[in-house]
Structure 1
Amino acid sequence: MSDPDPTLMAGQRIRARGVASNAAGRFESQVRVRVDDGWDIAEDERLLRTEIRVERPRSALSYNRSPDLPFDRSVNPYRGCEHGCVYCFARPSHAYLNLSPGLDFETRLIARPGIAGVLAGELRAKAYRVATVALGTNTDPYQPCETEHRLMRQVLEVLAEFNHPVAITTKGTLIERDIDILAPMAALGLVRVGISVTSLDPDLSRRLEPRAPAPARRLAMIRRLSEAGIPVRAMVAPVIPSLTDPELEQILSACRDAGAQAASWIALRLPREVSPLFQDWLSHHAPDRAAKVMARVREMHGGKDYDAQWGRRMRGEGIWADLIAQRFDKAVARLGLNQKMPSLRCDLFRPPPRAGDQLALF
């Protein structure tokens, strides 16, 4: 952030964005550099705005075999995320779209209208075997563009019709709009929600997660969902050593007071393009702690910025990872957050009848 990025036009205004770089993705064979040709640019063209493209999905369910994850399938209504969290481990996925994991990830989004209908077709397949589907595992399904596109709500309506279990991870307050769907599903044991809280410091949060709700607002989300009977897990993620880890116990306590039933944590992950973006952010926003933060990160990942090995990528290893884990375990035990979230029910799954279907005799 200290030097102008050559991929941005001169005088480009970047407001409330997580990064200030739009370097090409790792698959690009060319690098484009903007050159001032001397023509004046209109003021409204200087402000970097969010644009949303449309992709017609051919499939809805994405499957994984990762032993680190408690689910084997997920649905992503959007690609990219306007929340702009500088540390987001999903940023490198934008490179597969020939877009930058930097500013493109948070400004050039892709909505997938029709994904709910595609999902319904996949759930009706004779070979389909029900298991919890995860939402919000890559990018947030309740980011601001959901207000207009309503894809997440459409997906939830399908899952509710099928009595299909679902686990949701989000920072977005738009989840409160869907309590009318989620509360009845929760009463049947079909849904649980994880709310991510990185820091309770509103200034730090705004710089780390520029377009995500403020910490106090996320605590209010936990409270409202819990009051509606929806099980909520507090997710302290990511834990950034020497930056947010001093708040660990305070975050857990605030989430417990707001109504969270359980808690989890994930260490900072800096895969591929995320590492230089995060280090650039540190040099601008926390120059006095940048070296210490990265030293701790590398100590947790065997001397590297990131270790992608299963079993280590989520928590790291070594003395600092062990220390955070011990602090977390003691805090959740003291606060009563060391409870296992109830298993979601799969036995209620039933494809709803369609017009023309033969009725069952029994």
Structure 2
Amino acid sequence: MFYPDPMLPPRNPDERLKARGADTRPEGRFEPHRRIREADGWDIPEDEHLLRTEVVSESPRSIITRNTSPDIGFDRSINPYRGCEHGCIYCYARPSHAYLGLSPGLDFETKITAKPGASKLLERELGRPSYRPAPIALGTNTDPYQPIEAKLAIMPGILLVLRDWNHPATLVTRGQTVLRDLDLWAELAARDQAAVGISVTTLDPALARALEPRAPAPATRLRMIRELARAGVPVRVMVAPVIPVLTESELEAILTAAREAGATTASMIPLRLPHEVAPLFRDWLDRHRPGMAAHVMNRVQAMRGGRDNDPRFGHRFRGEGIEAKLLHQRFRLACRRLGYREGMPALDCSRFGPPPRAGDQLSLF
């Protein structure tokens, strides 16, 4: 029989959860102690309260993050938020909350840090004499169009700076608020300076609601693809993660639906469960799909060298073994049959430069 990770603390009985992916707050891997509630007979019962999202502001010194990973095709990124209210139980970004002394479980989806000064920081960094342009990836850790963005509106400021400086950008999202900024994305795309990736994990609305409780429904994500494509924005459908047993049978159906909606390129990543994500996902399986739990994890481990996760460069995004090979072969054949292009078009960095200011001398050419 399959059992969840015994190190996960029990759920807080005083909290009422509504549309949350995790069920508890395991300590992050850097914490020296674990805390477990124990009834000693002296506890005074408390009123149950609804767990709500808390948002705090951060004023970082810089906004562009650099990386040298050989697994990803960009060297710089911007994440306007830490944590993500979408609450996707499989999210590989959950362990990043441990760096803040917070839990990758419920804290990740209920304690959000926002960077409202992102646009001013970006303009300052682009204006440095040493800066050399290359596409900036938006939303590589947590979704910049998660629900709180509808209220805080950090992204329009970022996009206006990118537009004014003629700087290319890419986006990964599943948040429908991206359509609020459709005109800005279309303007960048008209200059060959924008490309958007939309994540579609499943076409089953009930499964999506359990896996990704506060993310838009699958039909809404297909509508996002359709409207972005109609506006001239190159769209990539990201079938990620592909979860054995639960969603892998939908691979071809998702690719077909996204192609009909207007996606021109596609990508696929098998489920990976780094650090604290593995016990959280195991706990989710035990709560939502107990009869499939052992089967799902056996298939995951078949693609990860017998472990829940394989962190090696070159393997973590692809997996290994016959299970992974068959999955990638299905993906390639479906993309070829549906007419997907290989890779997104190159973005134009040649026009990068500071926007004209009042009093600037006009160019003769």
TM-score, scaled to structure 2 = 0.94
Matches within 5 A, 1:207-222: 207-222=210-225
Say whether residues 1:198 and 2:206 are aligned partners.
no
Partner of 2:28: 25
In structure 2, the residue corresponding to 1:195 is in which secondary structure? strand
Aligned residue-pair number: 360
Structure-2 separation of matches of 1:236 and 1:270: 16
The answer as to whether partners of 1:8 and 1:33 remain within 8 angstroms in 2 is no
Q: Distance in 1 between matches of 2:178 and 2:206?
A: 24
Query: What is the one-letter code of the residue matched to 2:187?
Result: P
Q: 1:69 to 1:6 in 2, by over 3 A?
A: closer
Aligned to 1:272: 275
Report the equivalent of 1:347.
350
In structure 1, the gaps of 5 or more residues are: none
SS of the residue 2:331 aligns to:
helix
Tell me what 2:322 maps to.
319
8 Å contact 1:22–1:102 — kept in the other structure?
yes
* Displacement after TM superposition at 1:219 (Å): 0.3
Partner in structure 2 of residue 121 of structure 1: 124
Contact 2:174 2:216 (C-alpha < 8 Å) held by counterparts: yes
Deviation string for 1:59-112 (max 9, x for gaps)? 110011111101010001000000000000000000000000000000000001
Counterparts of 2:168 and 2:9, CA distance in 1: 47
Q: Map 1:43-54 onto structure 2 (within 5 A).
A: 43=48, 46-54=49-57
Partners of 1:47 and 1:82 in 2: how far apart?
Answer: 15
Helix, strand or coil at the partner of 1:283: helix
How far apart, CA to CA, are the structure 1 residues paired with 2:50 and 2:223? Answer: 32
Is 1:10 the equivalent of 2:13? yes
Deviation readout 1:177-218 (Å, 9 max, x if unpaired)? 001111111111000000000000000000000000000010
**Residue of 75, 78, 91 corresponding to 1:75:** 78
- Cα deviation 1:278-316 (Å, max 9, x = unaligned): 011111111121111111111111111111111100010
Deviation at 1:10, TM superposition (A): 2.5
Residue 41 of structure 1 corresponds to which residue in structure 2? 46
Q: Please, which of 245, 260, 263 is the counterpart of residue 257 of structure 1?
A: 260
Q: Secondary structure at the match of 1:236?
A: strand
Cα distance in structure 1, aligned partners of 2:8 and 2:334: 43
Question: Which of 281, 285, 290 in structure 1 is aligned with 2:284?
Answer: 281
| Paired position in structure 2 for 1:303 | 306
Name whichever of 248-257 and 288-297 sits farther off. Answer: 288-297
Q: Distance in 1 between matches of 2:36 and 2:359?
A: 58
Residue in 1 that maps onto 2:167: 164
1:137 aligns with one of 136, 140, 151? 140
The TM-score normalised by the length of structure 1 is 0.95
Deviating above 3 A after TM superposition, structure 1's stretches of 4 or more consecutive aligned residues are: 1-9, 32-43, 353-362
Q: Are 1:99 and 2:102 matched, yes or no?
A: yes
Secondary structure in structure 2 of the residue aligned to 1:95:
helix
Deviations for 1:322-353, whole angstroms, at most 9, x for unmatched residues? 00000000000000013332110000111113
Q: Which amino acid aligns with 2:216?
A: P
Q: Which whole-Å deviations, capped at 9, do the CAs of 1:41-60 have from their partners, x for residues lacking one?
A: 345xx111100011111111
Residue by residue, what CA displacement relative to the aligned partner does 1:203-245 show, whole Å, maximum 9, x if unpaired? Answer: 0000000000000010010001111111101100001111111
Return the alpha-carbon distance in structure 1 between the equivalents of residues 227 and 358 of structure 2.
Answer: 37
Structure-2 separation of matches of 1:361 and 1:234: 43
Partner of 1:179: 182
Question: Aligned to 1:178, what secondary structure does the other structure show?
Answer: helix
SS in 1 for 2:15: coil
- Counterpart CA distance in 1 for 2:34 and 2:10 is 8
Paired residue secondary structure (2:16): coil
Contact 1:162/1:352, CA 8 A, preserved across alignment: yes
Q: Which amino acid aligns with 1:41?
A: E
2:89 aligned partner: 86
**2:267 aligned counterpart, secondary structure:** strand
Is contact 1:132-1:344 (8 Å) kept? Answer: yes
CA contact under 8 A between 2:71 and 2:314: conserved in structure 1? yes
Query: What residue identity is the alignment partner of 2:320?
Result: E
Question: Do residues 111 (structure 1) and 114 (structure 2) align?
Answer: yes
The percentage of counterpart residues that share the same residue type is: 57
Gaps of 5+ in 2: none
- Asked if the contact 1:329/1:338 (under 8 Å) is kept, the reply is no
